[in-house]
Structure 1
Amino acid sequence: MRVVVPVSRSVTVPPSKGGVWTRAWFTWILLVTGLCVVPAVALAWEADRLLQLATRHGGQTLHLAQSLNEMIHQVSRQDDDIRLQAINQFFNRRLLFREDIETWGQIDYWASPLEFMEKGQGDCEDYAIGKYFSLIASGMPPTRLRLVYVKAIFGGQASLQQAHMVLAYYPSSGADPLILDNLIGDIRPASRRPDLIPVFSFNSEGLWQGTQGPGAGDAVARLSRWREVLVKARDQGFL
């Protein structure tokens, strides 16, 4: 996703205080993306299903799926820090960044982890989604993870902002989340990412303003693109 958003003089950029992102442009991005929330789902990991589907594609897809499967099993008994580092590096180092229009011929497409591996490339949503499902597959509770829509500031120029998505990990409720991002290789606390302005966050259980704001939806509402990804992930063994 590489849409540059000029900021008018009437817009105030929400500050980051104490490591907690406190304010979000929820309504604006909700209207742009047409997003809402899906029901919570039971989570499971069916590695055989993923490998069976990857075998049909062969080559790179099968190799990546096998590598991901092996890594998930290796880190499943490790602490969260090791899981985060391993899965973050897997996607950042093994898959290429490309715009959706180049990969899918569409302005915006949310790929499942298997689709991402099949293409060998994807954009920011694909990185965040792949890491989310892989961490859950390793045994991490989904309540500790949220996909976060942000505005990314490049070159320190607040007048030029870009829609972007990252994955946030919460070591505890209300804690300063750690950010897994394809733009920056290392995992940093949100308080050390002043270049990211949170808009809203979500997972398979709900939708929130920013990363720490009040709930903005419940499990009976719908999130169109996210719902489609959940269905594909379930079919491919991730749920």
Structure 2
Amino acid sequence: MLVTLLVLVWLPLSAPALQFEVNKIRQTAVSRFGARAGTAVDRWMANLESARGLSERRQLDAVNDFWNMNVMAGEDIHIWGQLDYWATPVETLGKAAADCEDFVIGKYFSLLHLGVPNEKLRLIYVRAQVGGQSIAHMVLGYYPTPQSEPLLLDNLSGSIRPASQRPDLTPVFSFNSQGVYVGNAQKGSVDSISRWRGLLEKMRKEGFVP
């Protein structure tokens, strides 16, 4: 008899649990990308298990290091043949390559899994100064308190630093599953971001149940 392992993630404010159907996630990875992808999912789950029970700050380091060290940075046009594609964590691990959004997506859902409250996390669109050019980029922000300066998890940097120590980044707007924000003010529903809706639908089919 096949037993499906469920990893439950309890979010704050009475939000529904995020469930990881680990067997289904692994099977999806293997069927789409081969045995190597199944091994990558195993490493991801092992990373999450080893980070369980750590302080939130140490969990940030564990998750940031995992995604930055196990996935190569690339462009969607080369990875997916599309100008802009938001990959699920399974897809990112299957390709072992990602653009900035995909790194952030993997880190965001990893930290939710570990119990970091949703309101402490935001996916932040920024303009980044890279090689003398201003490029569109995304980082993950962690806010210890609602008014705190965020700590930034970024695939362009191996270290997690406060926003004030990243003068190369200019924020544009941010969002999480609770809303869209400009500065600290909520400006709308995340449902207005069509790629986010599409991402969640793909994740449900893979075995993630928000």
Normalising by the smaller structure, the TM-score range is 0.7 to 0.9
**Structural mapping, 1:113-128, within 5 Å:** 113-128=89-104
Corresponding residue for 2:83?
A: 107
Distance 2:130 2:65 in 1: 22
Native 8 Å contact 1:178 1:190 kept in 2? yes
Kindly state the Cα deviation for residue 142 of structure 1 after the two structures are TM-superposed.
1.4
Native 8 Å contact 1:151 1:161 kept in 2? yes
**Identity level (%):** 45
Q: Does 1:43 align with 2:18?
A: yes
Per-residue CA shift, 1:7-62, capped at 9, x if unaligned? xxxxxxxxxxxxxxxxxxxxxxxxxxxxxxxxx86523332332232232432211
TM-score with structure 1 setting the length: 0.76
Distance 2:142 2:203 in 1: 20
Superposition RMSD in Å: 1.7
Kindly state the Cα deviation for residue 203 of structure 1 after the two structures are TM-superposed.
0.7
Secondary structure in 2 matching 1:164 = strand
Report the residue type matching 2:93 in the other structure: M
Consecutive unaligned residues in structure 2, runs of 5 or more: 1-14
Does 1 or 2 have the higher relative contact order (CA < 8 Å, sep 6+)?
1
Q: Does 1:71 align with 2:42?
A: no
Per-residue CA shift, 1:143-200, capped at 9, x if unaligned? 1111010000125x4xx31000010011111101010000000000111111000000
Corresponding residue for 1:33?
A: none
Per-residue CA shift, 1:180-223, capped at 9, x if unaligned? 000000000111111000000001110001xx33111036x421
Native 8 Å contact 1:41 1:204 kept in 2? no
Corresponding residue for 2:149?
A: 176
Report the residue type matching 2:207 in the other structure: G
Q: Does 1:97 align with 2:69?
A: no
Distance 2:148 2:188 in 1: 21
More helix by share: 2
Corresponding residue for 1:135?
A: 111
Consecutive unaligned residues in structure 1, runs of 5 or more: 1-39
- Structure 1 residue runs of 4+, over 6 Å off? none
Greater alpha carbon shift after TM alignment, 51-60 vs 188-197: 51-60
More strand by share: 2
Corresponding residue for 2:166?
A: 193
Kindly tell me the number of residue pairs found equivalent between the two proteins. Answer: 194
Distance 1:223 1:203 in 2: 11
Corresponding residue for 1:5?
A: none
Kindly state the Cα deviation for residue 75 of structure 1 after the two structures are TM-superposed.
1.2
Distance 1:55 1:138 in 2: 24
Kindly state the Cα deviation for residue 79 of structure 1 after the two structures are TM-superposed.
1.1
TM-score with structure 2 setting the length: 0.86
Kindly state the Cα deviation for residue 133 of structure 1 after the two structures are TM-superposed.
0.8
Distance 2:192 2:76 in 1: 23
Corresponding residue for 1:232?
A: 202
- Relative to structure 1, the CA distance from residue 81 to residue 122 in structure 2 (aligned partners, 3 Å threshold; closer, same or farther) is same
Corresponding residue for 1:223?
A: 193
